[in-house]
Amino acid sequence: MPKGKIIKRLKDMTPTEIEAERIRRKKYMHDYYLAHREKALQYAKKYRREHPRRNPRKRGRKQKAPYKWKRQPVCETYHQSDIMHAPVEKALKMLELIIARKRYFTM
């Protein structure tokens, strides 16, 4: 047999037992916080000292690139099923790119 209290599963509890368990856990968490509050405050102060905050305005790229960089197209090769299943306008655009030799076509 297990030592200590036997903990019922949530689905086996009645609504009043669930509410009592919720209140008991809430009280336990509050008491734990009160007992360890000083330690938590010391940890927070130490963390703030050792980990400087980031400036939210300086996230990402620091400055603009001196040249214009163009992304490569995602799809360089079209398959025949891509053209067959695409809407008409998109299929026309695909065919124009293939004819202009900007994209490749495979069967």
User: pLDDT confidence of 8, banded at 50, 70, 90?
Assistant: low
Q: Which domain holds residue 26?
A: 10-58
**Are 82 and 44 members of one domain?**
no
Q: Phi-psi region for residue 42, left (φ > 0), alpha (ψ -120 to 50) or beta?
A: alpha
71 within some domain: no
pLDDT attached to residue 1: 44
Helix spans in 6-71 (H): 15-35, 37-50
Banded model confidence at residue 72, pLDDT cuts 50, 70, 90: confident
Residues 50 and 90 in one domain: no
- Residue 56 carries which DSSP code? G
Tell me whether residue 46 is in a domain: yes
Tally of domains within the chain: 2
Task: Please tell me the pTM assigned to this model.
Answer: 0.35
Task: With respect to residue 16, please indicate whether it lies within any of the assigned structural domains.
Answer: yes
